[in-house]
A and B are shown apart, each in its own frame.
Chain A
Amino acid sequence: MTDVSAADRQQRFEALVLSVYAPLQRYLRRRTDPASADDVLGDVLLVMWRRVDEIPAEAMAPWCYGVARGCLANSARGAQRRQQLLHRLKEEAATPSADAPFSGDRVLQAALAALPEQDQELLRLWAWEQLAPREIAVALGITPNAASIRLHRTLRRLRKMLGGGKNVRLDGHLVQHQDTEAPQ
């Protein structure tokens, strides 16, 4: 145990909460329903409090995402929660995102969903949480080098799945991928 004072700890914790609270909430709500997100947020904050001395100053948010990821997995392990989630997912599956503004969204969603969960998380951290590879490394507990390589490979794979703007067959429908690039 260190000599870090309780006052110092609390001060650091409060500063930490102030800076990562909103990003953490977003992180969780991107990955679970609001009620579960709130539950898990409590768990995450508790871990943050216990381990406030270990949090790297240069990567506070990514570190917290890593914790959140673990807490989320724990919470998902609860049988009841799993049941709720399944139920929710079924409902979502029954009502496809017809209101999605671009058909390309569905293509991308399908492609993302087809990736291994770890790679999905990598891409989410990169695109949604807007982390750099070295920050992704903190969140996933891997080396920065590994994060870079995995990101590169996953992007290549995703690109391939998206077919570079060609028509993609999805859910029995032929969907025109609206590429952002100007047609060649």
Chain B
Amino acid sequence: MTSDQELRARLQGIDPMRADAGVDSLRSSSTDEIKERIMQTINQLEAPRSRTRAHWHRWQVLSAAAAAALLLVVSVAVAGSLTGGDTGGGKGAADPTTLALKVPSSSVMASCVGFQVEYLRDMPVAFAGTATSVDSDAVTLKVDRWYKGGTADQATVSRPDPQSSIALDGVEFVEGKRYLVTATDGTVNGCGFSGEATPELEKAFAEAFPS
């Protein structure tokens, strides 16, 4: 009578994957692709949650379904947001003034409140801008309209550290697209309070910040 262990060993003898049968290692580029494909599929199914290799472009959860909230803390380094003057760069015209925003470490989370124009109205910084460059670490937005709280010509949003990519969740930055952004106390507001300039969001901004 064979023991359980012997039977097990014998069964392992007919395991089709036993003989060092190769499986893709997770390091290989093909599995990177698979993973990426999955994350992209996921993005199409629910609130976007990932970034591609070339761009980080997740920013904020827009989906009402996403109860998980990401507050993008922005450490605001307001560079010349008031002057708009010549800073001596000498490109003929004045160098553009820049509002530098940062994305927080991913530990900074909060629950989303439902989107309401009332809340939007209270946000001290609000602008509209078009993404002029998107790379792995930062996005530059050319501001075309200040609703409130600033005058800078452009804004950058960057990651404070490599771990924080997740916090960019939800909004895909694409060069040439236009976004509406709010920030409070150095925090970019997510939860639908920032995002691609859809007619709905634009309408809400116009309502909250009447000129």
A residues apposed to B, CB below 8 Å: 1-11, 17-18, 21-22, 25-26, 29-30, 38, 41-42, 45-46, 49, 102, 104-105, 108-109, 112, 123-124, 126-128, 155, 158-159, 162, 164-165, 179-181
Contact = CB atoms under 8 A, between A and B. Distances in A.
A77 B167 CA distance: 39
A42 B13 contact: no
Given A17-B35, A25-B24, A7 B169 contact: yes
A109 B12 CA distance: 11
27 contacts: A1-B67, A3-B68, A5-B68, A5-B109, A6-B47, A7-B107, A7-B167, A8-B109, A9-B68, A10-B166, A17-B26, A22-B24, A25-B23, A26-B23, A30-B16, A41-B34, A42-B34, A42-B38, A104-B13, A108-B13, A126-B8, A127-B7, A128-B15, A128-B17, A155-B4, A180-B6, A180-B10
B10 A45 contact: no
Nearest to A129: B15
Contacts, number: 119
A162 B175 CA distance: 67
Interface string B47-79: 101100000000001000011111000000000
Interface in B1-54: 1-2, 4, 6-18, 21, 23-26, 31, 34-35, 37-38, 41-42, 45, 47, 49-50
A181 B109 contact: no
Contacts of B1: 159, 164
A93 to B, nearest CB: 16
Nearest to B65: A1
Contacts of B11: 108, 112, 123-124, 126-128
A181 B7 CA distance: 11
A6 B10 contact: no
Decide if the interface of chain A is mainly helix, strand, loop or mixed: helix
A174 B45 CA distance: 56
